[in-house]
């Protein structure tokens, strides 16, 4: 089994999405990275016993045989693949009374965090679809003077990476301590805590190539002290894209930080789209021999292996987009899907929604 590329995964998901069961007989199984494949096998053996209670003869037959097919496949595996495993199985025949029992096994391009068994009228594809959205990740920090939580936003998934506590005492002073001395102690401990947070963030994020930005949340004085105090390494300070006023400094605080940062995150995507289209329009205007517009010229350039970057509007026909993306994948060309949420994206759509920047003149 080989790890699928994002392009291959996208193609496969488009195929799987088209299959619809007549009853709840299409089976989806997700095995997260590091989880014991034998445990899943035993669970599905138990599900086979449960499926005997299904009233419909044809549905019972389809579910039982799909489960048997998955179990047989799992028995061939010595361990769960490195990134986890997604399995889809069911009767996908379009003709009543005929059976076309198919099994798909997918090792995704990124570690799978989901464990799932579901029998439904369609395959459960959302956990894999989210991987197609993740080209960049965002670092998250929520903090106050007592604790801090560092996390990662990967597509729509929030992962807690580290929890920390400061040891800073409460405002009640120990007997005999002067207010000034107590203040010095707590300020010293707070600064030490900020340094520990910064060191931990450096360890986690410094070499993270997909890191696009860092968001920081917390009470007004605390997060501002941390940001203004320049505790973060210069490289990470340059990744700082926004601060949000929130009260919680635990996992729920990370979720609140992401929700309240939607405008900032959307802005990042818009900036990226504006930049790539700016490059396209500049090439089209200044070096038109190194750019194409419209389907025919772009397809020809793709087939020659001349395309550096393919641009496709979200609004174009899906079959055309699928065909061009496949050629791009085969030829090692990158591609960008362009929304219509920016003026540039709307302009590109009005020009036909298909174009490319070329490596060489065709």
Q: What is the CATH number of the domain that holds 324?
A: 3.30.1330.30
Has residue 331 been placed in a domain?
yes
pLDDT of residue 172: 53
Same structural domain, 246 and 271: no
Same structural domain, 11 and 126: yes
Same structural domain, 207 and 251: yes
Same structural domain, 143 and 239: yes
Same structural domain, 121 and 222: no
d(CA 208, CA 203): 10
pLDDT in tens, 202-251: 999 999 988 999 999 999 889 999 999 989 999 999 999 999 999 999 99
Question: Residue 272 burial (CB < 10 Å; 0-12/13-18/19+)?
Answer: middle
Has residue 21 been placed in a domain?
yes
Over 80: is that where the pLDDT of 1 sits?
Answer: no
The percentage of residues in the chain with a pLDDT greater than 70, rounded to a whole number, is: 95
Higher pLDDT, 303 or 176: 303
Has residue 53 been placed in a domain?
yes
pLDDT band at residue 306 using 50, 70 and 90 as cut-offs: very high
Domain boundary among 216, 234, 260: 260
pLDDT of residue 235: 94
Over 60: is that where the pLDDT of 11 sits?
Answer: yes
Same structural domain, 179 and 234: yes
Over 70: is that where the pLDDT of 63 sits?
Answer: yes
Has residue 144 been placed in a domain?
yes
Has residue 180 been placed in a domain?
yes
> How many structural domains is the chain composed of?
3
Over 90: is that where the pLDDT of 173 sits?
Answer: no
Has residue 126 been placed in a domain?
yes
Same structural domain, 103 and 143: no
Other Cβ atoms within 10 Å of 285 Cβ, number = 9
d(CA 246, CA 254): 9
* CATH code of residue 222: 3.30.420.60
Same structural domain, 256 and 315: no
pLDDT in tens, 81-118: 999 999 999 999 888 778 899 999 999 888 898 999 99
pLDDT of residue 104: 96
Same structural domain, 200 and 307: no
pLDDT of residue 60: 93
Same structural domain, 109 and 164: no
pLDDT of residue 175: 52
- Read off the tokens for 270: 């818009």
Residue 221 domain boundaries: 137-260
pLDDT of residue 322: 87
pTM of the predicted model over 0.85? no
* CATH code of residue 39: 3.30.960.10
Domain boundary among 242, 260, 278: 260
Has residue 1 been placed in a domain?
no
* CA 265 to centroid of chain Cα atoms: 14
Task: Name the least confident of 52-61, 167-176, 329-338.
Answer: 167-176
pLDDT band at residue 302 using 50, 70 and 90 as cut-offs: very high
Domain boundary among 260, 295, 329: 260
Rg, Å, the chain Cα set: 26
Same structural domain, 320 and 222: no
Name which of 166, 157, 169 is nearest 196 in CA terms.
166
pLDDT of residue 176: 53
Same structural domain, 163 and 185: yes
Has residue 271 been placed in a domain?
yes
Q: Residue 344: which H helix or E strand, with range?
A: helix 343-350
């Amino acid at each position: 089994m080989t790890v699928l590329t994002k392009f291959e995964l996208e193609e496969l998901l488009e195929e799987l999405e088209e299959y619809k069961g007549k009853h709840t007989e299409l089976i989806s199984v997700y095995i997260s990275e590091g989880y014991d494949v034998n445990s899943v096998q035993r669970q599905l053996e138990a599900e086979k016993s449960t499926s005997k209670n299904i009233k419909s003869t044809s549905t019972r037959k389809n579910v039982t045989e799909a489960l048997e097919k998955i179990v047989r496949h799992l028995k061939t595996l010595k361990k769960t693949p490195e990134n986890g495993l997604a399995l889809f199985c069911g009767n996908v025949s379009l003709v009543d009374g005929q059976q076309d029992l198919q099994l798909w096994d997918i090792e995704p391009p990124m570690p799978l965090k989901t464990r799932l068994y579901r029998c439904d009228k369609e395959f459960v594809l959302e956990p894999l679809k989210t991987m197609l959205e993740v080209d960049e990740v965002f670092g998250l920090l929520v903090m106050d003077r007592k604790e801090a939580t560092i996390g990662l936003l990967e597509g729509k998934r929030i992962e807690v990476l580290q929890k920390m506590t400061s040891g800073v005492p409460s405002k009640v002073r120990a007997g005999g301590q002067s207010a000034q001395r107590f203040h010095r102690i707590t300020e010293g401990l707070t600064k030490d805590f900020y340094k520990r947070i910064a060191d931990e963030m450096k360890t986690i994020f410094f070499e993270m190539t997909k890191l696009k930005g860092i968001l920081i949340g917390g009470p007004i004085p605390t997060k501002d002290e941390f940001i203004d105090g320049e505790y973060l390494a210069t490289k990470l300070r340059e990744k700082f894209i926004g601060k949000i006023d929130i009260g919680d400094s635990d996992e729920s605080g990370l979720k609140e930080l992401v929700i309240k940062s939607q405008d900032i995150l959307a802005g990042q995507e818009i900036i990226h789209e504006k930049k790539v289209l700016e490059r396209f329009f500049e090439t089209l205007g200044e070096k038109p021999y190194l750019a194409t517009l419209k389907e025919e010229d772009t397809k020809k350039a793709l087939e020659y292996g001349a395309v550096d970057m393919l641009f496709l509007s979200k609004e174009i026909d899906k079959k055309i987009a699928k065909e061009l993306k496949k050629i791009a994948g085969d030829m090692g060309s990158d591609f960008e899907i362009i929304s219509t949420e920016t003026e540039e994206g709307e302009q590109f759509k009005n020009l036909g929604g298909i174009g490319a920047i070329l490596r060489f003149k065709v």
